[in-house]
Amino acid sequence: MPSANPVMRPKSPDRTVARPTRFVQPEHAIGIGELHVLVGSGTLITFALGSCVGICLFDASAQVAGMIHIMLPSASVGGASSSHRPHVFADTGIAALRTKMLAQGASPTAIRAKVFGGAQMFQAGGDLLAVGKRNVLATRKAVWKLKLAVDVQDVGGREARTLHMDVSSGRVLVSKPGNRREWV
C-alpha cells in the first residue's frame, strides 16, 4: 500500500458514522471482502487496493451508490467455506452488491460501474501470483453477466489505489502513491 500518508482505518465493526451536524455526510469504510450501499449522500471509502479490485456501482436517478472490495476471482477457490464470505469473490460479490442496491431502490437498467485495482503486486513472481489480473478478468465477466455498463476502468499497473466515492454524484476520487489524486 504505497501511500505516503497512510490513513488510520476505523476499528468499529459498524463503520457507518452519522456525524452530529447535518452538514457532515456519513462515511463508510469498506474492508477486504466487504460491501456497502448508501443512498442520497455520503462517502464510500476503500483503502489500499493492491491485487484486489474495488467496484463502484451507481444509479444516478435513484442516487443509490454501492462499493465492494473483492480479493479473489471466484468462489470456487474457497470450497465449502466460500458461502460464509461471498463478498470476497468477484463472481458472487458483485451480484450481491447489485441485489442490495436494487433493494435500496436502484433500477436494474440504470446501474453503471467503475472498476479499480487489480495491480501486479510484486516484481517478477511468476504467473501463479498474478491474482490482480485474474481479479480484473473475473470482474469484467461478472459485470458483463449482470449487464452493467462500465464507465471507468483504472486497473493493472504496479500501484495501490485508495477510493473515495461521493454518493451524491457517483464520482470517485482515486488516490495513488505520491499524493496523486484524480476524480473520475
Partner 1 sequence: MSTIVEKLLKRAERVTPPPKVLSALLDIVAEPNHQRADVARIVATDATLSGALLKLANSPAFARRSGNPFASIDQALAVLGEEEVVRLALGLGAKVMKEGATGYGLVEDQLWERALRTALAAEQIAVRADLQARAQCYCMGLFLDVGKLVMSAAVAKMHTPSVDSTFDGVERDRFGIDHAELGAQIVQRWKLPPAVVAAVRYHHRPAEAPAEHRAICFVAHLADSLATMTSGAAGIDGMGYAVDPNWVQHLPMTSNDTMELMFIITDKFESAARSLSA
Interface with partner 1, residue 44, by CB under 8 A: no
Interface with partner 1, residue 155, by CB under 8 A: no
* Number of residues forming the site for partner 1 (CB under 8 A): 46
Site for partner 1 in 112-151 (CB under 8 A): 119, 121-131, 134
Dihedral of CA atoms 89, 87, 111, 181 in degrees, nearest 10, equals: -80
Q: How far apart are CA 108 and CA 22, in angstroms?
A: 31
Pairing of the two strands 111-117 and 149-155: parallel
Q: How many CB atoms lie within 10 A of CB 100?
A: 17
**What distance separates the 2 farthest-apart alpha carbons in the chain?**
51
Q: How far apart are CA 28 and CA 44, in angstroms?
A: 5
Binder among 17, 18, 24, 77 for partner 1 (CB under 8 A): 77
Binder among 41, 178, 180, 183 for partner 1 (CB under 8 A): 178
Interface with partner 1, residue 177, by CB under 8 A: yes
**Residues near partner 1, by CB under 8 A:** 1-4, 6, 8-9, 11, 31-33, 47-48, 50-52, 69, 71-73, 77-79, 81-82, 84-85, 88, 119, 121-131, 134, 158-160, 177-178
